[in-house]
Amino acid sequence: MSSLKKKLKTIIGLVVGGTATFTGICIYHGNEKFTNDVLLPLVHRLDPETAHKAGIWALKANIYSKHKPIEYPNLRTKLWDLEIPSPLGMAAGFDKDGEAIEGLHQLGFGFVEVGTVTPLPQPGNPRPRVFRLLEDGAIINRYGFNSCGHGEVFNRIESLRNQGFNGVIGVNLGKNKTSDDPIADYVAGVNKFGPVADYLVINVSSPNTPGLRNLQQKESLTALLMAVLAARDKLVTTRKVPVALKIAPDLTEEEKKDIVEVITHPKCKVDGLIISNTTVSRPGSLVSDHKTEVGGLSGAPLKDMSTKMIREFKTMTKGKIPIIGVGGISTAEDVIEKLEAGATAVQLYSAFTLKGPFVAKEINSSLSELLKKSSEVKVLP
């Protein structure tokens, strides 16, 4: 009997070991069919935050592929003074602590925005705080700026730079939940990351930090941007680091006008807008069980809302402020829609979580083909 048990254990060990080895080989060599048909459904059985952490770990370990991403000459884009290999970037919110920057670039993202980063470490909101709405192609999160703080993220980016990494990195800045001086928090972020970031983002539009969106109001935003831009201008760097403002999709018409008035003022003129953050609205079309959860909604239901805002702000700013479009992008056609609306570049996050790690590769390939085939699609700067 003991002999039979030993044989069974050996067989089980071989099966488990063989399965793990096969899985590792498929992932390492970028087997998209295996990842999409086998691995992704298994990942979607995990708690969303656990799956998120597993994804970060996999990228840190570089287990997806050690091959360089395919570059498409017709996708090369100029964003400010930066040359990026693709207009498709990873939005803030996925790599909050700057742990997976290199891995994301290797998956085909033209640029990566880390954060939101707060000056001091903070845990964010209690779990559960992220929910998949698979039937709606959406996610609701209420993370609440969980962050390891400026110090750790800075050290990671500086280490990458010292190793010769030259991919484009944006750093999304936020304030600590209990801070009594939000402006000082953002200025501290500019001073800390200005020397190592390719661009900085002032995030005043997350719905998950109490009072944060109030910083989008005219007087508060004016004071904030004046301080932030003054700090940026004092940095001793080889170039003037672009500063972008990330705004919410739930603004009233009056709030939109106020923001445009502020950001076009000489002392408050940002270098770019990121449109948009997640929405607190809940379209009537939602059918998933988690549709009533509190937090910011992202993914497909946000697509038209963010595209409309891009078009509006492009017109209101007379096209003088570059826009990075975010919200509901999961295909090459979605990218073109955002670019035609007025975006210079775009970002995604939800589609990476819902469609798997090769979504950027798939979009880049399709986008390149669409641009080749259609003489009417002329959207890249």
Q: Which residues are catalytic?
A: 206
Q: How far apart are CA 82 and CA 59, in angstroms?
A: 24
From its phi and psi, is residue 132 left (phi > 0), alpha (psi between -120 and 50) or beta?
Answer: beta
- DSSP annotation of 145 reads -
Return the H-helix or E-strand segment holding 293: none
97 alpha-carbon distance from chain centroid: 12
CA angle 148, 87, 283 (to 5 degrees): 70
**128 cis-preceded (ω within 30 degrees of 0):** yes
Residues 6+ apart with CB under 8 A from 144: 124, 125, 129, 177, 208, 209
Which stretches within 29-119 are classed as H helix? 32-34, 40-43, 48-60, 101-106
* Amino acid letter, residue 300: A
Task: Assign 361 to helix, strand or coil.
Answer: helix
Distance (Å, rounded) from C-alpha 138 to C-alpha 136?
5
Exposure string (b/e) for 302-332, b if CB count within 10 Å is 16 or more?
bbebbbebbbbbbebbeeebbbbbbbbbbbb
Among the listed residues 79, 117, 100, 96, the one whose alpha carbon sits nearest the alpha carbon of residue 193: 117
What's the number of CA atoms in the CB half-sphere (13 Å) around residue 277? 27
Kind and range of the H or E run holding 186: helix 182-193
Residue 58 has which token pair? Answer: 């996999």
